[in-house]
Structures are given as C-alpha cells and as structure tokens.
Structure 1
Amino acid sequence: MEASTTKGKSILRPTKSVGFDFDDKPLSNHVQILMVAPNGSGNRIWSCNFCNKRVTGSYSKVKAHLLKLFGHGVAICKEISNEVCPTLKMENEEAEKKKSMVQLDARKKADYVSLPQVSDLSQQKKQKGSTGGALEKSFSIANRNIADKLAARMFYASGLSFNLATSPYFKKYSEFLAANPIPGYIPPTYNRLRTTLLAQEKTNINIKLQPIRDKWKRKGLSICSDG
C-alpha cells in the first residue's frame, strides 16, 4: 500500500498486486494472490492490499470486500477511506462497461455474415456490350451490387417467395426510394405494419370498393362457390 498525507490525515492508496492476477478482473490489482485452487475452480487464496486480510474465495468476494458490499460472505475492508472508495467504484464500473462494449461488438460481428465479394454486374455489362454511357455514370456499380445482395439476403433469410420480385408493389416501393432519397429513412417496423399501416390500407380498400357495393342494391349480386 502507498500512503499520502492530506491536511495531516493519512490516506491509503491502492497499489498493484504482486503475484498471480485474478485473470482480467478490474480490481485484481488491489489484492495479492497467494495460492490458486488446484482443482481449476475460480477460488483463490488472496490478501487485501489495504488491510492485509486473507480470504479464500472467487473474484466476487474481492469485489464485495473492496467495494464494501454486504451479503457476499466476506467482511468489508475497513481500511479503505472514503476518498479511495469512489475511485475503486469508478475503476470497476469503467472496466465492466468497456468489457461489455467489447462483448457487444463481438456478438454483432458474430451475428453479421459478410456479403459475397463476387459481383456479376461487370460481367453483365461486358455481355451487353456497354461502352460506359450516361446510365453507368449515373449509378454506382459497387453500391448497386451491395443493394442487390442485401435484397437477395432478405428473400433467402425470411423465406420470401421469389414471386415477390415480380410484384408491382415491390417494384413501386423500390423505384420510389431510388427517385426520392430520404436521409435516415427506416422501413416500417413489425408493429407498424400489423397495426397502423394495416388499418389505413383496409380503410383505403373499403373506400375503393364502396362504389361496387353500392351497385349491389340496384343490380344484385351472385355468390359463387367451388364447393
């Protein structure tokens, strides 16, 4: 331990441990590992750098001892001053936050599968004998290739019928986005599709059908069934 004097009062400062660390745990620098359990468990025999108390237990007891957390089967450290305790808490919080961010980034990378690198657009251009006119200049071949692969993955991953690609509504949606770039646009969510937008479309269809229903009263109608 290191000691400094502030206005005549001695304040204990944390020091780096000597010996085995508690793996990559943030507060491991404030205890000294004396012995590691031979059975491969997480228990250690360690001593506190502040009060020299010897404890047998896992890192959770190190954390409870240093951060003065009750109910963890270990006595709190009485030698850690009120000035040092917030520093230890901040050190622990920052380390755990950083570790969580690293784990989150790892999960995101694991969840995302990169797109195929091969492009068929350049080959199509050669087959059609394109000389690089205004159409090629107005579209980014690279971005178009990415957009095609993202659309294809949407079909494959969601089990969508390939017939959707021939739907005039799908084409109209795509053409509208191409002609009207909307910064920050996010497609409608699951809940909006099945509630608000569905209700609006139902109302619109009923309005379109109303003139036909009005004729039923004057001309009648036939109901056919295939059995």
Structure 2
Amino acid sequence: MELRDKIGKQGATGGTWNYRCNICGETRNGSYTRVKAHLLQILGEGVAICKKVTKSQKLEMLTLLEEWEKRKKPGASREVPLPSQCQSGIAIESSSKKGKSNLSPIAKSFNMNVMAQLDEEIARMFYTGGLPFNLTRNPRYQRAFTFTATHDIGGYVPPGYNKLRTSLLLQEKNNVEKLLQPIKPTWQEKRVTIVCDGWSDPTRKPLINFMATFGNGPMFLKAVNCFGEVKDKFFIANLMKEVIDEVGHQNVVQIITNNAANCKGAGEIIESMYPHIY
C-alpha cells in the first residue's frame, strides 16, 4: 500500500519534495524524517501528524520500518583470525580437529598453544584499541594477568566501560583518601609547603595541579581544569586560596610556583591575605 505520493520538488535543483498523504489527503513538504513523523504520529518533528491513520496501518508501517532498519545496518565486521589460528601446529581449534597434534610433549605440558593465543589476544587488544605500548611497563598490567592465571575464576568477565568510570573509580578514590587520612593531622606539627604548576593532559586540556610537600614526602591534592578561563593573577590567587583553606592556613608555610608574571602577582595577593605565608 502506497501511503504517500510525491507531487513535486521545491526549487529547480536540490530542495525537499512535496508529498500528498494518501490517508488524510493533506499535502506537506519535507524529508523522510518528516514523512515518518506525519504517518507514525510522532510529535516534535515540525510537521502535523496524520489524524486519520489507523492502528493497523501504524503497525504495518512500524514493521516495514524495522525491516528496513535491519537491512540498513552494515554486516558484522569479519573477525580476522589470529596468527596462531592460521598455523595448524599451534592453533587450539586446528589441533583439536586433528587426531594428532604437532606440538611437542614440552609444549603440551606448558600449554604453549594456549599461552601463544593469549599473547595474540592481548596484542590484538593493544593494536585495535590504540593503547600505548608503555602500558605494559605498568606493574599493575603484569599483576592483573598473574592474578588471573593463579586463581580459579572461571566465568569471570572484566569490568566494562561504565563500571570502570563510576563505581570502581569512586571505590579507588575513597580508598586513597582513607589511606592518606592519618597523614593529614601531622601537618599541624610539621607544616606544609604547597606546590602548584600548570600542565596539559593527553587531550591538551590546560590544568593547574596542587601538591603538598612535608616531612613524609609529597601528596597530590587536586588538579583544576582551566579550560575557557582567563589565567590571570586573580584567578590563580583564588585557586591558591581554596587549597590553603582546605589544608588549613595555619599549617601552610609557603607556596612554590613558577616565575610567570601572573603567578608572581598571585603570590603577592596571597601574602597580603596571609602574612605568615611567603
């Protein structure tokens, strides 16, 4: 059933089509989105809905729309086999299909075929995800796989995108704050030097980080995203004041920063507010 007829195009070249709805008989103009909104009675698309379309007609159109959306989706990308899967002597799948494996007894005893495929899976993750190779130098990288290999955790699924950026991140933050909590009371006795400097993160966002140094070593306090801000002496002085108040002005001896003009000006403002801090 043809639900609408094209009756002309606006403009000599380009432009949208005029169409007549075969259900209500009204003439409209617009693209596929507006035609769909009119026939399926979708509000908020800038076109009046068809008031004469029946439920059965809407159901028929929705079925056709779903079929078209399925056909429009590109087919699943072809899985590229791993190097070991192309070598019958190493691949797990190929060795299982053959009655006799080409692996030596030593290779079998150490599961070398499984290890080779795991290496390739990890390498493929780095290549397809654009991960820096320096990640392998992180001790946690080795520790994670060692923990997995030495524990029976069949069915384990690694944390996904949302869990990593929400609950696990908050859990780690709370854990670090808990570990640092016993150190902060010592600031009253040993006093603190606040160090701040500007830098850029991997996405080139301008940041100003603050650290506290004292007898037990440095402690990271916070990093402030300064994107879109005018980093004059007043802005920087305000950030310094916030950190001083968090640490406790009575615990701060001095602030160390670079010798840029805006930082020097911010330092003078802080000295006028807290005469004991230099």
TM superposition score category, shorter chain reference: 0.3 to 0.5
Please state which structure has a larger fraction of its residues in strand: 2
State the structure with bigger RCO (CA 8 A, min sep 6), 1 or 2: 1
TM-score scaled to structure 2, two decimals? Answer: 0.41
